[in-house]
Every structure is written in C-alpha cells, then in structure tokens.
Structure 1
Amino acid sequence: MPVLEPGVAVPQTVVSPAKVFVPKHAAGMQFELQRCVTSERKACAVRVVLGSITLPQSFQKIITCTGNVNCSLALESPPWEKWLQIMVESLGPANATCRPGSTSSFLNFSSLNQSQTGPRPGSTGAAGSSTLSTTEASHNASGQRSFCLQNQPVVREDLDVVSVRYRLLNGPSVPVNNLSPTLLLLSLNTGMDSGGSLVISLLLNKTSVNLANASVVACVSAASPVLSLNATHNCSTAFFQGYPLSVSTSSAEATLIVLYPQTDDWFLSLQLTCLREAKVTVFAYLTPCFNDCGPYGQCSLLRRHGYLYAGCSCKAGWGGWSCTDDAKAQSVSVQNLATLLLTLSNLMFLPAIAVAIYRYYLVEASVYTYTMFFSTFYHACDQPGIVVLCIMDYDTLQYCDFLGSVVSIWVTILCMSRVKKILKYVLFVLGTLLIAMSLQLDRRGVWNMMGPCLFALVIMVAAWVYHGVKRRHCYPSSWKRWVFYLLPGITLAFIAISVYAFMETNENYYYTHSIWHVLVACSVAFLLPPRDKHKKPWAWSQKLTCRYQICQNDREELYAVT
C-alpha cells in the first residue's frame, strides 16, 4: 500500500488503496478528488472510502463521485497520530474501468498551532498523476482558520489491575473560558485498560463565576478531541461519536461512565458558553466496576480469549451494569426468608449427629458438625443486600462448606462399607487430604464430588460382596435393615442429587438448595449402620464402678491383682 507524502506527486490507480498519516494537533482534514476519467476518456463513477475497510460502515466516511465534478470531503477532528486508509472503487461497468493514474487528489490539514498555505496540487498536477499535500493551513481555499486550546497536564497513576487514577498537576480545578477549549489527555493505551469503566466527574466552582449565568459544555472522545464546543455543541469527531457533558449554576455536578472504553488516548474538552472565565473541578479515574457494584452485586475480574475485563455479578434479582436496576429485585422480606431457609435448613443435621453419637461413630459426628456449622455461616455470608452475616472471610467460609459437604458423603459411605477400623480411618484421612487438594485446584468442579462418591461406592460394594460371600447370604442380612433404613436413605439421597443437579436455578436457589440440605441430612441419618454389638450405647445414668480382678499369669504361675 503506497504512502501518500505531503507535497509529493505519486502515480496512482483508482483500484489501489493508499494511506496517509494524520499528524498530531490536526484540527481538520479536507480530501478532494479531481479529473477521474476512464480509459475511453469518459467520466468515471467512483466511490471514495476514508477509514479502515475492516471497521463497520459507521466508522467510515464515504463519498460518491460521478461525472467530471470534483468531489471533496471535510473531516473535523481526525484521529491524531493514526494511519488513515483511502480506497477508491469504480462503480461503472466492468468494461469501463478507470485508467491507472487518471486521478488527481488534494488533501489538506488544518493545524492548531500554525497557519500557512501550501500549493494546491490539483491545479498543477498533470493527468496520470495523483498529488497529496499536507499543509498546516486553512480549512478551505476561501480563508484561513486558526485554533487555540489550553492544555492541562495530567499524570496517570496505576493503582491496581484495571484501576487507574488521573491527577491534575495544577490542582483538581481547571480554568475554562469561552474563547478556546480546555483540553485534558487521559491515556488509556496500555492495552489492559479496556476492561474497566472510565468515570469522569465535573463540578462547577460557583465561587469563581457570576451566579447569574454560567454554563460549561464538555465532551469526552477517543483518538482526537472535539474543538468546536462553543460554536456547534456537537460532541463528535471525524469517525466517532463522543460523550457530552454539561454543568451550570443550576446543575453544578455531572458524571459520565464509559463502560469498556476502547484502547486509545481519550480527551476531555471543556469550554464556557457564556461569561469569560470559570473553574471546573475534574475527577477522572478508571475502575473495574462502578461503585463496586453496590450492596447487591460483586465485582469480578474475568479473563477470556486473552482479554481481561471486569463485570458485576448481581444477586437478589437486581440487574444493570452496576446492579442498580431494581425492576426484578427481591424485597427485604423475601431476602430474610431466603436467608432463614438456607441457614436453618442445616439444623436437619442434628438428627444425623445424634444418631452418629448414639451409635458411637464419633468421627462421623464430628464431620457432620463441621459441615453444619460452616454451611450455616457460609449461606449467611453469601446473601446479598442487608441480610448478611460473615464471621470469617467469604472465600474461607465457601471452601470449608464445600470441603465439609464432600467429606460428609465420603465418611458416610465408608462407614456403611463396614471395613476394618484401621483401614476405615486411613481412608478417612487420606480421602480428606485428596478432597482438600482437588477443591483447591477447582472448587466448583463436578468431579470433586462425583469422584469421591464413586470411589467410596466401589469400596462399599466390594466390602458388601466380600461379607456376603464369607457369610454365604445377602449382606446386610436383615430385611428390616433394607426396608426401614437403606431403601429410604437411598431414595432420599437420589432425590437430593436430582434436585441439586436438574432443578436448581438462580431463581429458585433459596428453596431448592434448602431442600437439598434437608434431604441429604435425613438420608445420612437413615444410612448410618447400626453400632457394633460389643459397643454399648451412651448411658449417662450408669455409674462407674471400681473393682479388682484376679488374673493368672501362666508364665510365672502366679496371680496378680490388676
């Protein structure tokens, strides 16, 4: 692709694209196409596209030229220090192509800091050549136009990921007048800034102006600033639509939030529309989530396809970019009900704990107590809005809740297998350590729960088969055990898994997850095996007796009192 240089004639064909570099401080740009004819010396119908052809059509400037009439296009505030592509396409029939080198173009820049006139190559260029001229000159041929602006120095301070603060060196207040715009440069070109929210707040200093009439218009734009605020109040550049702002004595504050700003240099232009001078306090910063998503949301940093961006995860029916849309929000009474359901449903573990203690399964009872405690306070901390109680860090409570849930299933199935005690306790400890490791790697992974459950079931089935073969009858052998304990417990467990896997959604989470708590706790109370025959139940009314027992020592043939 040829580069059009200022003041240099370049042989050009109609179908060949070209590009031109827009210098800094360019206030305007004018493109003119002259004397386009076909190979048969007939008028050529062409279409000129300024801007990248890979962008949507709204980001392009297109003009159509027909006949011998010269075509021109004026652009206000072209993007600074960027390459612009110029593409000329023939619109005529296929056999009437434009002859190579049969166009003559004229390009002119108007600058902010100088005013000088350059030659018009369209009047001197010969046929078969294309001339581009860049001059820091007038906006059109009839007269000259000069610009002036006040540039305020701004320092960028990186605070965290997608978190930037802009500090004005001359203080938070900037002077604004009605003769020329005041310009602030906000750099967002690091490549990692497009995933947050750009927040700009303006506050009119009423002590610096006459309170009768004071109005300041502002515009936030990317790539190039808007320099004609006082004249047209049009907040738009050559290729982009900016974001307008305004403050006045009647409304002294204004805030703008730009979600996911594009990676580029952003400009804030301010100008006074009346009086002569005023002061405006400017606060500008880049934050991951505006207002930290409020009381009904949580700000999360996400990485997808190599891009880092932030977003709000809203709860309790709230929506919007910062969780401020209450169209489907839950009332406080519904939030209280949801919290009570999720927390008090864990009390159904008390029967399972009592059964485990009665049958002398103290390790299992300890695990159930641990699960009940952390599940209760995790769900009390997981609620949005004002109904929240966190006794620990949220991440710690969540990890302990997940760990207790999986370990409870693990120890229950191993207890049902009735393996030897030494093997059972080794599997208890080893399985808990592996579960803790897997949860640290992927806390919400499906196999973190399915894996231990399936492995424990394999151990239980193998142990029951071993006992059945050894005793030569079905194990467990009692039909009452199957009818009144095992079948109800297995049914409750399968219903709980079905509710958890297929019925639970974000809308009914408070109810279905509470049902999950109740069903799992009840199934544990049914599935725990009976106590060993040589173990007596806890009897607090029994008195401890002391007695002597005479034991015979066969080796020494003596009697010893123990």
Structure 2
Amino acid sequence: MPTARSESPLLTPVTIDPSLPNIRISASCETILDAEVDVEREASLQLAVNARQPNIRLANIGDLSRVRFLMPNNVIESSITIFSSSGVSSEVEVNVTANSYISSKGTELAQTTLNSSTAVSVPFKVWTNAFHYITVRLLSGSSTDVSVVLNNSVQHFSDATVVRLTRKSYPDFFLFDYEYLVDNQTKSSSVQLTTTSTSVFSFEINSISDTGGTLTVALRLKDKGKSEPENFTVFGCVHLGTLQDISPETGRCFSNIMESKLPVLVTSKTDPGPIYVHIPFPEPGLWYLSLRAFLRSMNCTCPETCQENSTMCPCLIPASGTVEMSVASSPCIEGNCGMHGRCIHYMNGGFVFSGCHCLRDYRGFDCTDDQYVQNDSSVLIGLLMLTLSNLVFVGSIYFALHRAYYAEALIYFAVMFFSTFYHACESGESVYNFCIMRVAVLQFCDFFTALLAFWVTLVAMVGLTPRSTAILDLGGAVVLATCAELNRTALWVFMTPTITGSCLVAFFWIKRCRARNTIHYPAKCYQYYYFPAGIGLVTLGLICYAFLQTQMNYSLVHSFWHMAVAGGVMLLLPNRKHLK
C-alpha cells in the first residue's frame, strides 16, 4: 500500500545518541534510582457467580479483597455499583482490571475512591474472553462492609460480528501481516461495510516476539472511492482487549472510561488515503479494528465535536461501501527511519526490540524532529574550526625541534594529525565527514596522543638525563595506553599523568634549588615569564573545556582548547640551557 501521509497519535519520542560521546573531563551528570519492594500476602479471591456479591469485610487499614467475574462476549461496556457501610468514616479504593488483578496501564479499566454514604456507580470497558477483577482496599478510617453489584441493566451490547484476520509471518524480527482472506483466496480482500452494524476485525499480538516493533494499521478507499458518493466517509478505531463499537448516531467509538483518546482513522473521498496509525511497541493481547461507513454532509464536524453522550448527529447517515485495510508489523516505522536515521535491532536482557539510530542531531521515534539540527553552513564552520585549530601545533613542533626535543616533536605531530582527522570524521554530521579509518580507532589515537603529549612535556620540564627521560616516556606511554583503553573519557585518566608529572617537576626542581642553595631554578626568564604564562594559558583552556563546554558551543570552546594546549606547550617546553 503506497504511503500518502502518516498520522502517529501514539508516538512516544525516543532519543537515541547518534554518535560517540563528546570528549569531556568534567564530572558527568548521574541519576540515582532507589527501588523499594513491598511484599504482601495475596488477598482472597472470590469468583462471582451472579450479579450480586456477598458483603466484603475490610476490618483493618490496608486490608483488601478481590472479586473475579467473566462477562458475555457481546457486551462492550458495563458498570458496577459499590456501597460502603461505614460511609464517610472510611475511605475505600476500588480498582477494576482485566486479565490480571495487578493494575497497570494496559489492564486498568476503572478506578475510584469510595468515601460517602451513597452507592457509587463505576463504568468500565469489557474485555473479550477475559476475567475481570474488582479489587477493594481500605485506605483509612474504621472497618466497613463493601457490597458489589454488577449492573446488568446498563450493559451496552454490540451486534457486530468479529472477523478474525489471518496471520502471515516472515523470517525477520517483528515482520508479519494480518490479512482479510475470503473463501480460499490467497490475497487480502477488500472489506464491504454495511449500514446495519459495525465491522470489527481482531488480530493477536504475541508477547515478547511481537512487541519490539511497530504495529501499523492503514485504511483507504477502494479505487480512491470512484464508485462511492462524494460525501462518503469511513471511521475506524483500534484498541487492545475491548471490542470497539462505532455509534451510528455520532460516529464515535465507545471509548474506555480510563483513557482520553483512541487511535482513530478517518478517510473520505476527498482524502481517500491511505491513512496510517503507528503504534510503537504494541501491548500483547487481542486487538480490534472497528470500521463503519457514513454519508457525511459538507461542513460536518462529527465525530470530532460530538460529545460521547450525544444522542444524534444529524449530518451523519450510516452508509455502505468498500474499503481496503492493512494490519502489519515491522521494525521501526515500516522498516526504516526516513532519510535521517537507520533502523537497528537492540537486545537487552534477552529481549529484542527495534529503534531508530538518528543522525545529524535529529530526534524522535522516527528521526523527524529537527529542533536541534544545524544547517549545513553551521556544520561546515564547526568542522573547519575543530580541524584547523590543530594547526597551532605546528608552532609546538617547530619549538620542540629547535630546542632538540625530537621525540616530543613526533608526539606533537601525532596529536595534530589524529585530532584533525578524528574531528574531520566525527564532527561533520554525516554531511562533510572524511574518515581515513574507523572513528573508534581515531578516537583512541586522539585521546592517547593527547595524554602522552601532557606526559612528555612534563617529563621534559624535569630536565633528566636522556636515559631517564626515555624510560619515563616509554613507561608512561604503556600506562596511558592502558588507561585510554579502559575509559578514555574519565576524569582520572586525564589527572593521572598531570598530577604524576607535576609531582616529578616539583620534586626535582626543589631538590636542585636546595643543592644549589638558590631559588632561581630554572633560569629567571623561564621561571618568571614562560612558565607562569604557559600554566595560565593551559589552565584557562582547561576551565573552558571542563566547565563551559556544551553541545551548543562545542565547536568554539573545543577549538580554543586545542589552541590553548598548543600555545601552552610552546611556553612550557623549556630551552635546555634554562635547565642547566
């Protein structure tokens, strides 16, 4: 069925990080979850055999009792009457659920609190072929006797015939269709709608194996409604567990008391469809699709504005006609995530589910939210800032070679090379990317060479013999490579070479000052000018990098960090004569 437009009333935004985490050395934000488990003895469960149950005695606060009953299949809505003998002197909580006495979003049908001397009527939606449970709990007050009466007189019956759709499964995850097959046909047939009743179709969503994808229900007029009147309109609604009858007076679905809106499909000759409803990660159970055709006069706003208790909508007349429907499941949204994402299967705790891996800061379940997406010119400017800022290391390489620090010059060149190509590969938002190797390899090399540059610069400032310097450089390289592989973005990885190297510098400088009985070591020009300026520049860059860098200013602040480190190296790397 070709795609005309998409409506997704049940979409829940899901943001999936499209790239590797930003390089940060500040402490990350953490969320602490505190879980508590309350264990209680299961309450007595009574099976209702008639419309009236004996009084339920709740003696102490926290006492609860449950009643289980089964409804006829042709009932779609009913109610119960609850009465508490103690009246206002106690507060009783009442929950009505289906399939399970445990209240959850999918199974909760009605909830109320009883604290009056009059009986309270609680309407609820009826599930087909499922036990229903009434749970009463004493919240506060004195002991009470609670009576429960099922109101047979207000039950809403449906004369709709439920047709079970035929499932067709495919080898891939979450890929299956439900088809409407007539007689011995192998291809899904069109649906003939009548004026007398709602056409209802049911299909099963299995637990675990079917819930990790997206259920898509589509509806369109056959042959774009060429054989139908101009004002021909079809209303449809989808729901889990309960048969949805469509009112012939208002065109509205008889919605659940506990929910605000049902997923609804409306198609007409002016908009023949297909019209889609996407339901991500559908709940397991028996689902229903209800359809009904009307002749809808011009400027008719039903069922959008008709209230549920309206008795008549004069601009709607039940009609007959032919529509085509599709019920299918697929990973993500029809197997893809549009132009700005990729559909990926995830596995967590033994469960498999699909999700969209969004690119270029697109967000949302189907990667269509462009609120945080930068335009191409901004992406290009950010990419050039992050890559070209590394050219300041040319100055660091020149000073290292001029001062006979050849190994250090090689490390600075490696920093410039890997940082440039890492940002060229990672920061182009899939528009201007240029990758000479896998981004994970480039990221490791960028972090490792940056850490090593800190270390060799501090070792050079100590002023040891060539043999001792080589041992410290090589030993530091081994340790830093291990640290970068363990957790390259952790704060302790950056602080380890910095603190260790600073302690070495302080120890040997103080030792030489005491041996020479002077405080002027290293030379005055380095001690009073180059060293404070270099420390100040690196500290300023570190403050901006650790505390001021955000996603919005990442390109600007991180580029300044590159230049601050390169400039600090030029100032801190001492001339050998200053250490004599």
TM-score, normalization: structure 2?
0.68
Q: Deviations over 1:346-379 (max 9, x none)?
A: 1111111222233333332222222222222222
Q: Superposed, which structure 2 residues align to 1:293-312 within 5 Å?
A: 295=340
Aligned to 2:401: 357
1:2 aligns to what? Answer: 44
2:458 to 409, 413, 422: 413
Post-superposition offset of 1:166? 3.0
Match of 1:148 among 161, 164, 168: 161
Equivalent of 2:134 in 71, 81, 85: 85
CA shift in 2, pair 1:324/1:462, >3 Å = same
CA distance in 1, matches of 2:72, 2:463: 81
Q: Say whether the 8 Å CA contact 2:235–2:264 is kept in structure 1.
A: yes
Q: Distance in 2 between matches of 1:456 and 1:148?
A: 81
**Offset at residue 501 of structure 1 (A):** 1.5
* Change beyond 3 A, Cα 1:466–1:64: closer
* Counterparts of 1:298 and 1:413, CA distance in 2: 47
Compared with structure 1, are the counterparts of its residues 387 and 212 closer, same or farther at alpha carbon in structure 2 (3 Å cutoff)?
Answer: farther
Q: Which of 165, 173, 179 lines up with 2:175 in the alignment?
A: 165
Q: 1:500: which partner in 2?
A: 545
Task: For 1:443 and 1:288, locate their aligned partners in 2 and report how far apart those are by CA, in whole Å.
Answer: 35
1:13 to 52, 56, 60: 56
**Alignment partner, residue 30 of structure 1:** 78
Q: In structure 2, what residue type is equivalent to 1:75?
A: F
Residues 433 and 186 of structure 1, relative CA distance in 2, 3 Å threshold: farther
Identical columns (%):
20
Q: Deviation at 1:344?
A: 0.9
Unaligned runs of 5+ in 1: 109-119, 121-137, 534-562
Task: Report the AA paired with residue 2 of structure 1.
Answer: S
CA contact (8 A) 1:183 1:269 kept: yes
CA offsets 1:419-457 (integer angstroms, 9 cap, x no match) = 333333333333333323333332321111112211222
Q: Which moved more, 1:386-395 or 1:322-331?
A: 322-331
What is the rounded CA distance, in whole Å, between the counterparts of 1:359 and 1:521 in structure 2?
A: 16
Of the structure 1 ranges 516-525 and 476-485, higher mean CA displacement relative to structure 2 is found in 476-485
Q: 1:166 to 1:39 in 2, by over 3 A?
A: closer
Match of 1:200 among 216, 225, 247: 216
> What is the aligned counterpart of 1:176 among 152, 168, 191?
191
Q: Does 1:370 align with 2:414?
A: yes
**SS across alignment from 1:85:** strand
Larger deviation: 171-180 or 484-493?
Answer: 171-180
Q: Per-residue deviation at 1:84?
A: 2.4
Tell me the residue number matched to 1:50.
96
CA 1:496/1:73 → structure 2, altered by over 3 Å: closer, same or farther?
closer
Distance 1:457 1:7, change over 3 A: same
For 2:91 and 2:454, locate their aligned partners in 1 and report how far apart those are by CA, in whole Å: 78
Q: Describe the superposition over 1:532-551 as per-residue Cα deviations: whole angstroms up to 9, x where unpaired.
A: 89xxxxxxxxxxxxxxxxxx
Q: 1:60 aligns with which of 106, 110, 114?
A: 110
Displacement of 1:516 = 0.6
- With over 3 angstroms needed to count, the CA separation of the structure-2 counterparts of 1:429 and 1:392, relative to structure 1, is same
Give SS of 1:336's match. helix
When residues 285 and 248 of structure 1 are mapped into structure 2, their CA distance, relative to the original with a 3 A threshold, is: farther
Q: 1:331 aligns with which of 336, 354, 375?
A: 375
| 1:300 CA drift (Å) | 11
The alignment yields a C-alpha RMSD, in angstroms, of 4.7
Work out the CA distance in 2 between the residues paired with 1:168 and 1:53.
30
Is 1:252 paired with 2:273? yes
Structure 1 match to 2:287: 267
Question: Match of 2:439, as an amino acid?
Answer: Y
Offset at residue 497 of structure 1 (A): 0.7
SS at match of 1:17: strand
Matches of 1:139 and 1:373, distance apart in 2? 76
Q: Determine the structure 1 residue equivalent to 2:263.
A: 243
Structure with greater contact order relative to length (CA < 8 Å, sep ≥ 6) = 2
Aligned with 1:4: secondary structure? strand
1:371 to 1:184, Cα distance in 2 relative to 1, 3 A? farther
User: Within 5 Å, which residues of 2 pair with 1:502-517?
Assistant: 502-517=547-562
Change (3 A) 1:7 1:200: same
Separation of aligned partners in 2, 1:525 and 1:24: 85
Q: CA deviation at 1:211?
A: 5.0
Provide closer, same or farther for how the CA distance between residues 458 and 88 of structure 1 changes in structure 2, counting only shifts above 3 A. Answer: closer
* Aligned AA (2:403): R
Structure 1 residues 300 and 451 mapped into 2: Cα distance closer, same or farther (>3 Å)? farther
Q: 1:203 to 1:354 in 2, by over 3 A?
A: farther
Q: Which string of whole-angstrom CA distances, capped at 9 and with x for unpartnered residues, describes residues 357-407 of structure 1? A: 333333322222222222222222223263433333333333322222222
Which consecutive unaligned segments of at least 5 residues does structure 2 have? Answer: 1-42, 59-63, 294-318
Alignment of 1:95-106 (within 5 A): 100=145, 103=147, 105-106=149-150
Cα distance 1:215–1:67, how it changes in 2: closer, same or farther (>3 A)? same
**Equivalent residue of 1:386, what SS?**
coil
| Closer/same/farther in 2, CA of residues 338 and 50 from structure 1, 3 Å limit | same
- Partner AA of 1:200 in structure 2: T
Letter in 1 for 2:395: P
- Structure 1 residue 184: deviation in Å? 2.9
Letter in 1 for 2:162: L
User: Aligned in 2, Cα 1:216/1:23: closer, same or farther, shift over 3 Å?
Assistant: same
CA 1:522–1:32 in 2, change beyond 3 Å: closer, same or farther? closer
Select the structure of larger CA radius of gyration.
1
The aligned length equals 483
> CA, structure 1 residues 266+37, in 2 after alignment: closer, same or farther (shift >3 Å)?
closer
Query: Please, what TM-score do these two structures have when normalized by structure 1?
Result: 0.70
Aligned partners of 1:360 and 1:442: how far apart in 2? 33
